[in-house]
Amino acid sequence: MQDRRRKSPQMDLFANGQSSGAIGAPAWPELPAEVQGTLTRLMAQLILEHADKSKTAAMAEVDHDL
Spell out, as residue ranges, where the chain has pLDDT lower than 50. 1, 19
pLDDT given for residue 52 in this prediction? 84
**What is the pLDDT at residue 54?**
74
Full-prediction pTM beyond 0.85? no
Average pLDDT of the chain? 75
Do the beta carbons of residue 26 and residue 18 sit within 8 Å? no
